[in-house]
Structure 1
């Protein structure tokens, strides 16, 4: 057989193998919120794409306005991995969503707070009784409001909860349609600087304000190497961000539509660096679930353990 005839015989096979490899390429679809500064930075600098390229994987970033919407996208199969606050996974699990906790960020209690307008006569959380309080339903601030009211001898039903996403809540807050707003950074830092909003109570001494990385159960079981690569890149970018917050804020600010000083302030209130879930952190998440069920905010009790790696529920989904 001549070289030319050999080439004629092998070329179609080579093309077929190439096509098969191209078809088999995996795309990691990440659900994120623009307020998630570290992920916004990763999306901007392309570090994750470079990290996944040797594994034959690409990245697709899917933006959501808040955690509950992101969890809905995860449950519907629109994304494979998402990053949210404490409360959204509780509501999602109670609604039957199928996901698994794969990691968490350290506590950041100062990064969420109850604020009132600059000239408000309200001086304490106790004075919120009977008042209109804006919040994003099912977000991490939902739990902050519940616990802050409880600490001051009030029940959740003692205030008029007005459920609005961040942009609509800020508009309502600034025109005086609500008396207070419970919100997280960087929206918190923005309204403090731009509107002179006064901090009534942040999460210190009340809540942990962890953030969680979640994955669709089947994806987490089938692609552990992609999850590991995501976490390695996230950790590297977290170290770089904390080493030079000012430089990171300059990159992130235009992407979030905020001033660098606002973003810098919000970055200072977060501790970045993903870690595997510990039993202690899972127990704290269970406390939130139990609190929400006792208040009638979720229709049935849930076991956070059912959504942890290695649980029987997750193992069955993987099979």
Structure 2
């Protein structure tokens, strides 16, 4: 009799433990950038919850921080720029690209009344950029300077490492002569009238992919259904961004606490208007097309040429779109 009483209790405990494990939140990290708006929208509008997916979403500073969190198994999936993915893959962190997040975002700015008129004019000047070897630095050195401007990054230009939030002030004060920045900082500077657009990368390289959704091999192995749910919510968020721009702009402006910008004529520009301006240089899509894969290969080539890595990684090992395809059903 004692054994028969224990059996239901044991079964109940087993069921409870199984349910607790199933309810374990999927830990999502993302770089706090406007281009990663889909994860913010999905959380704000309850798309993860609609899919029956418990999540723990964390905004982090940059790609290297996210990669370190993945390596420490503090995250399961992440929204991050492409270069850190393949650079860390070459070092042993075999995370896989599952979907695209956005296209565009970056631009080169110079002072509105400054002497620099072309990219070639950057020679001998100071340019605000980010940490050497980071994703945006790969794009700056590999494409903007070497390929487009025909300049040597380490000798022709003095690249000054600084946070993107400090670049506009540095440009206005003459600390630097140009800046390689991204949204919303580009739009804030342009709307204020303190800067001029020297190069819109998305215009030069239409719809180039940047942020992607990645997952660890163990996440894909142990939680494949949750990965599909995540990507289904991701698709819904992108559809909302594209189909309801005014409402989406409000969500983004609030998430990034975008303050009103004063134009040179004294008029004010709201946070929503800043986002609308930023949409001229970035957009959102989940699909990874052949052109996107070719650009990822191009970025890897830049990283090899710049000596940021020496490995050759086959795209078939780096990208798996099967989960995204399941999320479309």
Q: State the TM bucket, normalised to the shorter chain.
A: 0.7 to 0.9
Separation in structure 1 between the aligned mates of residue 64 and residue 7 of structure 2, nearest angstrom:
55
Within 5 A, what are the aligned runs for 1:162-201?
A: 162-194=160-192, 196-201=194-199
Question: CA deviation digits over 1:42-93, x for unaligned, max 9?
Answer: 222232133134xxxx100111122232223222222111112333224333
Partner of 1:313: none
Within 5 A, what are the aligned runs for 1:243-282?
A: 243-258=243-258, 259-275=271-287, 277-278=288-289, 280-282=291-293
Aligned residues: 299
Q: Residue 173 of structure 1: CA displacement? A: 3.1
1:90–1:194: structure 2 CA closer, same or farther, 3 Å change rule? Answer: farther
Within 5 A, what are the aligned runs for 1:18-29?
A: 18-29=16-27
Separation in structure 1 between the aligned mates of residue 138 and residue 167 of structure 2, nearest angstrom:
14
Are 1:290 and 2:287 matched, yes or no?
no
Partner of 1:64: 60
Partner of 2:261: none
SS of 2:220's partner is helix
Separation in structure 1 between the aligned mates of residue 55 and residue 86 of structure 2, nearest angstrom:
27
SS of 2:93's partner is coil
Are 1:76 and 2:72 matched, yes or no?
yes
Partner of 2:239: 239
Separation in structure 2 between the aligned mates of residue 170 and residue 66 of structure 1, nearest angstrom:
19
Within 5 A, what are the aligned runs for 1:1-319?
A: 10=8, 13-35=11-33, 36-53=36-53, 58-105=54-101, 107-108=103-104, 111-137=105-131, 138-140=134-136, 142-149=138-145, 150-157=147-154, 158-194=156-192, 196-203=194-201, 204-206=203-205, 208-258=208-258, 259-275=271-287, 277-278=288-289, 280-296=291-307, 298-305=308-315, 306-309=317-320
SS of 1:146's partner is helix
Separation in structure 1 between the aligned mates of residue 55 and residue 157 of structure 2, nearest angstrom:
43
1:11–1:77: structure 2 CA closer, same or farther, 3 Å change rule? Answer: closer
Structure 2 length-normalised TM? 0.80
Separation in structure 1 between the aligned mates of residue 233 and residue 243 of structure 2, nearest angstrom:
15
Structure 1 length-normalised TM? 0.83
Separation in structure 2 between the aligned mates of residue 116 and residue 213 of structure 1, nearest angstrom:
32
Contact kept, 8 Å, 1:28 with 1:59, in 2: the verdict is yes
Q: Residue 160 of structure 1: CA displacement? A: 1.3
1:42–1:248: structure 2 CA closer, same or farther, 3 Å change rule? Answer: same
Instruction: Structure 2 unaligned segments of length 5 or more: list them.
Output: 259-270, 322-329
Instruction: Structure 1 unaligned segments of length 5 or more: list them.
Output: 311-319
